[in-house]
Chains A and B, each alone.
Chain A
Amino acid sequence: MHQTTGTAWPSPRAAWGAALLTLALAACGGGGEPSLAEAQTQEQADSGPTETAAAVRAVALAVTSTPPPAGRLLASNCFQCHGTGGTGGFEEIRGKSANELLEYQRKSASRNIMAAHIQGYTAEQLQQIAAYLK
């Protein structure tokens, strides 16, 4: 019955690394966090909440800063079709440059849903999305 297609959960080591990096950056006072630290909190869909997984998850979830990183909410517009964190769906968009996104604005809108969709964003917003998804 359960149908979600979970993306692979990085190893606990990777998640810890992301969490540590995030906190280190936050502690530098930059106000930013690695853009996709949250997306690192994915775990194997079939694994239960083991203590280790729970701890890793909890720490990774706990990593937030004030204010939220620029582009986080904007980029979440992409996740319905490209997966939470931009790592699935039609095409992985994590790591795409703003120029790659802008290229879609030059395609025929009525023949390409991405070209149609991306028309609604300003160039600055696309840059913020790309920066967040780096």
Chain B
Amino acid sequence: MSYATRLDAALNRRQWMGWTAGGLAAALLPRTGRGAITGKKVVVVGAGMAGMTAAKYLRLWGGSGLQVTLVEPETLYTSNIMSNLVLNGSRSVGSLRYARDTLASKYGVQRVTGSVAALNAGARSVTLADGTSLAYDRLVLAPGVSFDEAYGLTQTDYDTRTPHAWRAGAQTTLLRNQLVAMRNGDTFVMSIPKAPYRCPPGPYERACVVADYLKKAKGSNCKVLVLDENPVIQAERHTFEQAFGQIHAGVIRYEAGVSGLRIDAASRQLSYLDAVLAPHTVQAQAVNPIPPHRAQGSAPGGWLARAGLNNSADGRWAVVDVLSYESTALPGSGIHVIGDAASCGLPKAGHVANQEAKICADAIVRLLQNGQPDPQPVANSACYSPITASTASWLTATYQYDPAERKMKPAIAGGKTLVNGVPATAIESATIDGDNFKNMGTWFRTLMSDTLG
């Protein structure tokens, strides 16, 4: 007997007893409550921050008449958030791993181990790599990102020699081991791709954590070279200018506007052009390239691409209607895309993905009840960044829906997206301190609990 069948059987029996005991006529109380969803199926593909939250909240808000199936190849979730703290030895990758059992035991989410091979949008079904197929009324895609083979490197190089460690796991441990093997005077080089990239783990926070570790463990002659393809620091500019220029001065060298990066994985030699196109070569002892990302499956021939969902101008992301997260490539198809794979104007971050998932789940529940999505959704972002092994900063933003442009925009001053004609922006902490570091732990634990607990 499937879990859902058992649950329904238990419900029917207990419900009658319960309502009778409660003195209410069972006949007046439909099995799934007034106006509730019955006999509908949602398939959620990908059990990262977005997918897990979507599955949980679909059941929480959609009720037991909404069957939710979560498709994911990996048994455990490994958190990207906090994974930079593996690099300085204060956390292990194991401490970032989470079972997803509670989604099934508490919320009745059905889990399928597998990965998507093809979407059949017309037939409203998903074919998995093992050949099985899952039918849906609504499909939520939360596949996350994949990483380009860039700068002359291959996926094997990332796995064995020059780890990006941008997806927490074995590469994070490899990078940690390379840092441990460094000696005083050695050089660590990391590169940052043009935005948008997934964050956390944050690139600038990584530079800080690595610099802090090398200074303390190896000596003050170590160098951390940060090669940023972006023209300026992309987040918490005040914080990271202070961190690079003061806290980690003499160790971190930050170069913005870098191009033409080439890396030789065997020799760990690299070359690049600086912002004024002057060429440089560097011999490093550890190289950490963060490659450009794209939605998983969006590369030519990939399952997302074959379904035509990667409709951003660069073909890397799935553009969505931010009221429902339904794909704008296939409107009316019942296909929603959330999290890092979506292009929705919000940062690619686990905390944000959690809220995108809630907006999407709420919209799906409304749509399945023949309603319309909330016309004025609000999303939010909060993020703590370690700057040393014991201090941190934070960044936060609230996003309001602008119906004129149909976009989510940062808001301040009581929900305003424009203040004196200037668009609102995220707010960063004034200080880098130990209280923030402590609060970072509370934030992380609570976010994970809201996502999968």
Contacts and interface: CB of A to CB of B under 8 A. Distances in A.
A98 interface: no
Contacts of B369: 66-67
A113 B382 contact: yes
Contact of B429 (A16, A20, A113): A113
B452 to A, nearest CB: 6
A14 interface: no
Contact of B33 (A64, A74, A90, A120): A64
B348 interface: no
Interface of B: 3, 6-8, 10-11, 13-15, 18-19, 22, 24, 28-29, 31-37, 57, 59-65, 76, 94-95, 97-99, 101-102, 104-108, 351, 354-355, 358-359, 362, 365-366, 369, 371, 374, 377-380, 382, 394, 396-400, 410-415, 424, 427-431, 439, 442-443, 445-453
Contacts of A80: 351, 354-355, 380, 382, 443, 446-447, 450-451
A38 to B, nearest CB: 5
A20 B24 contact: yes
B111 to A, nearest CB: 13
Interface string A26-38: 1100000000001
30 contacts: A3-B445, A3-B448, A4-B98, A4-B449, A4-B453, A7-B449, A45-B102, A45-B106, A49-B3, A51-B10, A55-B11, A62-B64, A64-B61, A65-B33, A68-B362, A77-B358, A77-B378, A80-B380, A80-B446, A111-B430, A113-B394, A113-B396, A116-B396, A119-B413, A119-B427, A120-B400, A120-B424, A121-B398, A121-B411, A122-B415
Q: Is the interface of A mostly helix, strand, loop or mixed?
A: helix
A61 B31 contact: no
A83 B76 contact: no
A2 B101 contact: yes
Interface string A1-30: 111111100000000100010111011000
Nearest to B101: A2
Closest 5 pairs (CB-CB, A-B): A120-B398, A4-B453, A55-B14, A89-B446, A122-B415
A51 B14 contact: yes
Q: Which of A51, A80, A89 has the most CB of B within 10 A?
A: A80
Nearest to B424: A120
Contacts of B414: 105, 119, 121-123
A54 B11 CA distance: 8
Interface of A: 1-7, 16, 20, 22-24, 26-27, 38, 41-43, 45, 48-49, 51-52, 54-59, 61-68, 72-74, 76-77, 79-84, 88-90, 105, 108-111, 113, 116-123, 125
B18 A59 contact: yes
Nearest to B6: A54
A4 B448 contact: yes
Contacts of B28: 27
Contacts of A74: 378
A55 to B, nearest CB: 3
B399 A58 contact: no
Contacts of A56: 14
Nearest to A78: B380
Given A57-B108, A65-B35, 17 more contacts: A27-B34, A38-B61, A43-B105, A45-B453, A51-B10, A59-B64, A63-B36, A66-B34, A80-B354, A80-B451, A89-B446, A119-B398, A120-B410, A120-B411, A121-B398, A121-B414, A125-B415
